[in-house]
């Protein structure tokens, strides 16, 4: 299998961490590409008509794309229970919350990069950060027991989202007022799969 990817993408990283946690990394060739919303890499377009990454090229079936689809597929291959049936709806909801944080954080970067200092909307950026802040407050207030439970994809996505905030929005202190979440993240970020995939 080939994973069309960029190491800086939190969506890609979620797949890469899960692959390592599931013991599947050696079966996946990582194919780095340089792609943007305005100029999709040819490799990304060949794998996904939307031009987005990650995309998982399989030798025995159609290419899979969208990180959540790929994670479900890898979980099925490994049979490791990253989507436990007993807690499935909670896992999916927490996974969606983490992806919402990633999406808002990525949109903040695009707003500044694509429009520049003169054209970017401060109101748009503030609105995206408010989404992030509300999600983080929900994690701190309602999800800590789940985050501290058996390993699942939602925990991986949450840790990757928090790392992405440090990576791209280090000037904003997401830890302030969220001591439990900050402590959990520090522990999870030390896992070998997280360390190996940390973007430079």
| pLDDT tens-digit readout, 58-67 | 999 999 999 9
Residue ranges of the chain that CATH labels 1.20.1050.10: 85-195
Q: Residue 36 — very low, low, confident or very high, per pLDDT cuts 50/70/90?
A: confident
Count of CB atoms within 10 A of residue 12's CB? Answer: 24
What is the H or E stretch that residue 171 is in? none
Q: How far apart are CA 115 and CA 150, in angstroms?
A: 42
Six-digit token string for 98: 């983490």
CATH class of 85-195: mainly alpha
Q: Where in the chain is CATH 3.40.30.10? A: 2-78
What pLDDT is attached to residue 180?
98
Does residue 107 sit in helix, strand or coil? helix
User: What local confidence, expressed as pLDDT, does residue 163 receive?
Assistant: 98
Q: What is the topology classification, in CATH, of domain 2-78?
A: Glutaredoxin (3.40.30)
For residue 131, pLDDT over 90 is answered with yes
| pLDDT reading at 173 higher than 90 | yes
Q: What pLDDT, in 10s, does the model give residues 69-118? A: 999 999 999 987 999 999 999 999 999 999 999 999 999 999 988 788 77
Q: What predicted TM-score, i.e. pTM, was given to this entire model?
A: 0.96
Structure tokens at 150: 């058996």
Mean pLDDT of 183-190: 98
Positive or negative torsion for Cα 65, 69, 75, 77:
negative
What's the rounded mean pLDDT across residues 19-45? 95
The pLDDT tens digits for 132-154 are: 999 999 999 999 999 999 999 99
Structure tokens at 24: 């599947």
């Amino acid at each position: 299998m080939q994973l069309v990817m960029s190491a800086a993408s939190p969506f890609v990283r979620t797949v890469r961490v899960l692959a390592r946690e599931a013991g599947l990394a050696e079966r996946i060739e990582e194919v780095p590409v340089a792609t943007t919303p305005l100029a999709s890499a040819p490799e990304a377009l060949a794998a996904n008509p939307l031009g987005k990454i990650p995309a998982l090229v399989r030798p025995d079936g159609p290419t899979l794309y969208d990180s959540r689809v790929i994670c479900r597929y890898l979980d099925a291959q490994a049979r490791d229970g990253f989507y436990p049936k007993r807690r499935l709806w909670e896992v999916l909801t927490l996974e969606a919350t983490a992806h919402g944080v990633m999406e808002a954080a990525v949109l903040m970067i695009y707003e500044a990069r694509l429009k520049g200092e003169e054209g970017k909307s401060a109101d748009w950026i503030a609105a995206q950060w408010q989404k992030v802040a509300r999600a983080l407050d929900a994690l701190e207030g309602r999800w800590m027991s789940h985050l501290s439970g058996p390993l699942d994809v939602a925990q991986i996505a949450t840790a990757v989202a928090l790392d992405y905030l440090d990576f791209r929005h280090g000037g904003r202190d997401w830890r302030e007022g969220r001591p439990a979440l900050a402590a959990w993240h520090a522990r999870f970020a030390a896992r070998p799969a997280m360390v190996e995939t940390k973007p430079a």
